[in-house]
A and B are shown apart, each in its own frame.
Chain A
Amino acid sequence: MKSGLPRYICGICGVLMLLQFFIPAKFVQETVVEWVANSIMIVGCFGLAIGLASLIHSHGTRIRRKTPGWGFSVVTLATAAIVAFVGLVPRSVTFDQADKGVVAHTVTTRVDRIEYTVFGYQPETSNLVASAATGNMPVQRTSKPLFDWAYNYMLYPLGGTTFALLAFYIMTAAYRAMRVKSWEAGLLLSSALVVLLGQIPVEEFLPWVRIHGISVFERLKELIMNFPNMASQRGILIGVALGALATSVKIIAGIERPYMGGRS
């Protein structure tokens, strides 16, 4: 039952979902597909809990064993707990209020009122109280809970800057790795240089590269993108799709069982 039943469940569900594609009945195409899709969404939510538990377990182990760098694990878990807590608890305490007064726009006037709270997740779109119909000034009530603050001033800059580091590394990679060591490397380099020059408006500073209003590099770039690049990507795409098709059939047939967790 432990290994056989999941295989049958996967196979039966897979075949049923394949069959629904060929049954044009309204009940199947609308109701059943919607139910199944909602069902998978619900199951997926519980799957996220496993990821969370895994994180807590690995960091908890590091803290318990006091391995080098365990302090950072404390920071990770504490931050996660605080942000989740302030986001989940309903809004209650208001600790600051700023009334910006009347803000004149082109034809409408509006009062901007900003409320800072500790708890709660308050989507901005819920805040506009438009009362133009009654003749009162509409009030834009912007609620800024700590949860929002953590997103705007911690998650956003950390996420953005972590990926911005790659700009520096790719420049050093361009210097170190883009060397014409063979004909293939030469082709790669020449294609890269043409596309680089085609991406920037060189014709703003060198008018002589213009042909019928567009720089020659841009034209060459479009040729590279629409012909050799497109053909290569299509070849790769078809190859990958055929491989994925074979893998999908193997999963439905029970030959490949990735859901078994390494044990067949």
Chain B
Amino acid sequence: MIAPVSKPLVFWQRHYRHIIYVLVFLCVLLPMFLPVKLRVNVSPPTRNVFNAVDTLAAARHDAITNLEAMIAATTNRTGIARLKERLDRLRMNTNGVLMLSCDFAPDTAPELEPMAVAILRHAFARNVRVLALTPSTVTGVQLAEKIIGVAARQSTNLYSARVDGRDYLFLGFRPNMFQLLMAMGENISHAYVTDNAGRDLATQPFMRGIQNYNDIDLIVSITGYTGVPEMWIQVAHTRNKRPLGFGFTAVGVTDYYPYLHSKQIIGLLAGLRGAAEYEIASGLPDAACGRMFSQFCSHLLVIVLVIVGNIEFIYYRRRTR
């Protein structure tokens, strides 16, 4: 490269890194002082997850109706007994059961925590029972516990706050995620044995209506780790035919569009924008919406930097010719 001629250019070339760092920091910090809450349009993948959580009671009602019809049509005595057992379990949670897998740790929490809180608040508002777990990462257990506790305490309705053991249960972490998911396909209580608080699942009233995936109406996994959604799709969707939704960090979300197209997953929340869309859809703009203005300014900075970089590139290419 030919040496630049002007002093500002020399200064820029020597210190552009630090100037960009300062600009990035300001683009993130300064918008936080301005009370601007940007509205984002809810994209179809996010809308699908929202609608699925919103209609869990209807899904449970359909499942009960279908099972009753199946029982009426079955003549095999053993088959009828098993179906009736399942019907009794389904009738224990008529508002539906959501399994929320919080597969994230502090490194991806700023993106995924708002998603988890938004989904939990929506589920609690619909009186859906929530079975939460953290099967993939041990460092996410306390984070998930805190999120669920906060969402439960915020979700007061006319009668009471959401109570652990009655409205939700947090199972925590167990090693070897794929084997754990496979074991949960048979019996969740046998796979986990105790919940995160150390209580025996076999004696928990919450688990009387939940034996395995067949008693769960929707599974939503919120994660930033590649490989985790693939395990969920293999076990929960391919093997057990349960509807599956994901929240993923924006880094890897482009990889999961084929599953969306093939309807192996019903919907996909993409990073902080996905969290903001979910908050808008549920009518409770919160942390994610508040951070979108910082995102907006940072994105504009990136675009400006790319344009400036290309102008510089074209300028120097012309000078060398």
Enumerate chain A interface residues (CB-CB to B < 8 A): 29-31, 33-34, 36-38, 40-41, 44-45, 48, 105-108, 123-126, 128, 130, 132, 148, 151-152, 155-160, 162-164, 167-168, 171-172, 174-176, 178-181, 189, 192-193, 196-197, 199-201, 204, 213-215, 218, 222, 225-226, 229-230, 233-234, 237
Q: Is the pair B258, A230 in contact by a Cβ cutoff of 8 Å?
A: yes
Q: List 16 A-B contacts (CB under 8 A).
A: A38-B191, A44-B176, A105-B161, A107-B158, A107-B159, A160-B107, A160-B110, A168-B21, A171-B21, A171-B23, A172-B17, A181-B313, A193-B306, A199-B273, A199-B295, A225-B257
Q: Is the pair A160, B109 in contact by a Cβ cutoff of 8 Å?
A: yes
Q: Is the pair A159, B107 in contact by a Cβ cutoff of 8 Å?
A: yes
Size bracket of the B interface: 35 or more
Confirm or deny: B65 has a beta carbon within 8 angstroms of a beta carbon on chain A: no
* Residues of chain A contacted by B254 (CB below 8 angstroms): 225, 229, 233
* Residues of chain A contacted by B172 (CB below 8 angstroms): 123
Task: Please judge, given known A-B contacts A201-B38, A201-B39, whether A126 and B176 are in contact too, CB under 8 Å.
Answer: no
Q: How far is the CA of A179 from the CA of B314 in the complex (A)?
A: 9
* Residues of chain B contacted by A37 (CB below 8 angstroms): 176, 179-180, 182-183, 191
Question: Which residue from B24, B163, B257 sits with its C-beta under 8 Å from A229?
Answer: B257
Interface of B, secondary structure class, is: helix
B302: nearest residue on chain A (CB-CB)?
A: A174
Q: How far is the CA of A229 from the CA of B195 in the complex (A)?
A: 41
How far, in Å, is A145 (CB) from chain B's closest CB?
11
Question: Which residue from A38, A151, A178 sits with its C-beta under 8 Å from B183?
Answer: A38
Chain B 252-276 near chain A by CB (<8 Å), digits 1 or 0: 0011111011000000000001000
Confirm or deny: B186 has a beta carbon within 8 angstroms of a beta carbon on chain A: yes
Enumerate chain B interface residues (CB-CB to A < 8 A): 16-17, 20-21, 23-24, 28, 38-41, 43-44, 105-110, 139, 142-143, 145-146, 148-149, 156, 158-161, 163-164, 170, 172, 174-176, 179-180, 182-183, 185-187, 190-191, 195-199, 254-258, 260-261, 273, 292, 295-296, 298-303, 305-306, 308-310, 313
* Residues of chain B contacted by A181 (CB below 8 angstroms): 313
* Residues of chain A contacted by B17 (CB below 8 angstroms): 172
Q: Is the pair B40, A33 in contact by a Cβ cutoff of 8 Å?
A: no
* Residues of chain A contacted by B106 (CB below 8 angstroms): 155-160
- Nearest 4 CB-CB pairs, A to B? A126-B197, A159-B106, A37-B183, A37-B179
Question: Which residue from A36, A163, A201 sits with its C-beta under 8 Å from B292?
Answer: A201
